[in-house]
A and B are shown apart, each in its own frame.
Chain A
Amino acid sequence: MTKRTILLTAAALVVIGAVAVASVFFGALETSVVSKDVDTPLSAQEMQRLAERGAYVAVAADCYACHTAKDGPAWAGGLAFETPFGTLYATNISPDKEHGIGAWTRAEFHRSVRDGVAKGGRHLYPAMPYASYREMTEEDVDAVYAFLMTREPMPVPNRENQLSFPFNIRQSLTFWNLVNLRRSGFEPDPARSEVWNRGRYVVDALAHCGECHTPRNLLQGMKPGAYLEGAVIEGVEAPDITKEGLTRMGFDPATLAAFMKSGVSAQGSMTHQMFEVVHFSTQYLTDDDLKAMAAYLFDLDAMPATSTPPPAPAPVDVAPPVASAARSTYLNLCAGCHGAEGQGIPHVAVPLSTNASLRLESPRNFVRAVLNGIPAQRFPGLERMEAMPPFADLLDDRELADLTNWMRARWGGRQPAVTPEDIAKLRERGHGGS
């Protein structure tokens, strides 16, 4: 090969590479799951018919929780998302013509929900779970569209995102989409039952469980190989909710379905983001949908007729000095509300003897609850739990490590392997500390 040939080949490769990058960037390789059918606007009668159903779909998809700031106007956006790349703000999706989606066509709404491309070709950030909503059926997206158009228009301007370069270039999402988006929408598995398929649809497409419970790769895409196996979000673990993970926490399909409805179980109460999920979404799901979700998560074609909770893990021995120190701490600071035997007080404090956080592989959620406390919470019906105080300045790292090891060994069947250094790392360092 002459020098000239090498140079020409190299030049050609550079050009091809540049063309490839440019094609991705300008969206030439983007796949849409939105059909041409939605180019036809819905009639007023269809909009009216769909709106009621849309209210339910929007609840199942939990749109409100992000698109309404705390105590802010309904559907007007504003909730902040702290990401490693900067801060994003949820947008106004009320039907205001200027600031909301009032001027959006049916097709534009479909493209934004399922392809992540908003009106005018503006790429959305995947904090909007379009990677999950991509699997929503055309009829469900239509229903949400019809429902949102019946809401009160809120003339509230959208807040500008604070993102660093290059993440502030929306068009660069084409690369993320190329790697992380499914090519097609929801495809039922004909080998499985209707219940299982409905469960998968609710879990994956509507409730977008994987957005938190599936770990993310370096590009912040959901790792397909670790589906629902748990991830750390805002300093706490969204636990493994595969069949194995749920069983480890002490759930069976019936108790899981009841937990999503009530927010309270023998395994503890819903905390952090899952508290909001129950508050805004799962408490309103039909029993059929809750059962379908539970059956699917346990990989069953039908809900079992009876509830058979998994056996409690066998206690593990702890060195006597650790056990003695931890037991004193427990009796002095925990037993007043959680009971000497970890039995809890109904409507006040959850039981600890059956608490899921003690059974998880990582001590993170338990330790963070002890350090930072949990606010008082109201659950559906008249249920409530009182506030758990923070113990960060009452327990040093050694005391909390001993307590953690003893409680996890006693009630969670976990080896006492937590060190004071582990506790030090989990102490809060400002919002969202690791």
Chain B
Amino acid sequence: MTLPTKPLALTVNGQPVGPLDVPEGLMMQDFLHEYLNLTGARMGCGQGICHACTIMVEEADGAVREMRTCITGAHWFAGKKVVTIEGHAQHDAQGGLVALSPVQQAFIEHFAFQCGYCTPGFVTGATVLIDQLKRAPIPRAELEKTVTEALDKHICRCTGYVRYHTAVRDLILNTPGLLRG
């Protein structure tokens, strides 16, 4: 059986990709795993529930949005700029690590994860939240609730969320400009 294909071109972690011939109904996660060897967006439930598979999509105004790759077709991302978990930290030209992203660093410092399977999704979700707060700061009193709501859809089965929550809260408290009033 041959699957009908369409050419797909997009920007992944700042690099232009394609055009590649990609099956019409292929999910983004399979495209990342099988075509680009970017396996960090995790396959959890495959039904859009656990959010271990999320990546960031940059909108025209530079804002980022979280998308589930297990239930979104690769062709939906045509022409868009996406950031996968592999694109959060800074690397030098040889691929050596220069610096983790602030969210990644905070998760390490707080021992936020244990097995790490859900972590790419949590990094993505927390990074999107911080981007939103840069654009629209919130009062201090709403912080805990906002963190809970932003990360609520991400499922973790071993650390019980508390350290993820604390890490994100502390990062927001220590980053100027995310809170107001």
A interface residue numbers (CB < 8 A to B): 328, 331-333, 335-337, 340, 345, 348-349, 386-387, 389
Contact partner of B71 (CB less than 8 A), chosen from A328, A336, A340, is A336
Which B residues lie within 8 Å of A348 (CB)?
47
Which A residues lie within 8 Å of B70 (CB)?
336
Q: Once bound together, how far apart are the Cα atoms of A208 and B161, in whole Å?
A: 46
Cβ of B102 under 8 Å from chain A: no
B75:A336 contact, CB within 8 angstroms: no
With both chains docked as a complex, state the minimum distance between the C-beta of B23 and any C-beta of chain A, in angstroms. 10
A337:B48 contact, CB within 8 angstroms: yes
What are 22 A-to-B residue pairs whose CB atoms are below 8 Å?
Answer: A328-B24, A331-B25, A331-B73, A331-B75, A332-B72, A332-B73, A332-B75, A333-B72, A333-B73, A333-B76, A335-B25, A336-B48, A336-B70, A336-B71, A336-B72, A336-B73, A337-B48, A340-B25, A348-B47, A349-B47, A386-B47, A386-B49
Question: A328-B75, A336-B48, A345-B47 known; 15 other A-B pairs, CB under 8 Å?
Answer: A328-B24, A331-B24, A332-B73, A332-B75, A333-B76, A335-B25, A336-B70, A336-B71, A336-B72, A337-B48, A337-B71, A340-B25, A349-B47, A386-B48, A386-B49
Interface size on B, residues (CB 8 A): 12
Which B residues lie within 8 Å of A386 (CB)?
47-49
Q: Once bound together, how far apart are the Cα atoms of A349 and B25, in whole Å?
A: 18
With both chains docked as a complex, state the minimum distance between the C-beta of B55 and any C-beta of chain A, in angstroms. 14
Cβ of B27 under 8 Å from chain A: yes
Q: Once bound together, how far apart are the Cα atoms of A340 and B27, in whole Å?
A: 11
Which A residues lie within 8 Å of B25 (CB)?
331, 335, 340
Of residues 31 through 85 on chain B, the ones whose CB sits less than 8 Å from some CB of chain A are 47-49, 70-73, 75-76
Which B residues lie within 8 Å of A331 (CB)?
24-25, 73, 75
B76:A332 contact, CB within 8 angstroms: yes
Residue on B with the closest CB to A327? B24
- 10 closest A-B pairs (Cβ-Cβ)? A336-B71, A332-B73, A332-B76, A331-B25, A348-B47, A331-B73, A340-B25, A332-B75, A386-B49, A337-B71
With both chains docked as a complex, state the minimum distance between the C-beta of A401 and any C-beta of chain B, in angstroms. 18
Q: Once bound together, how far apart are the Cα atoms of A349 and B45, in whole Å?
A: 13
Q: Once bound together, how far apart are the Cα atoms of A340 and B73, in whole Å?
A: 11
Give the most central of A328, A332, A345, A389: most B CB within 10 Å: A332
With both chains docked as a complex, state the minimum distance between the C-beta of A378 and any C-beta of chain B, in angstroms. 14
Q: Once bound together, how far apart are the Cα atoms of A337 and B49, in whole Å?
A: 11
With both chains docked as a complex, state the minimum distance between the C-beta of A332 and any C-beta of chain B, in angstroms. 3
Q: Once bound together, how far apart are the Cα atoms of A335 and B28, in whole Å?
A: 12
Q: Once bound together, how far apart are the Cα atoms of A387 and B71, in whole Å?
A: 13
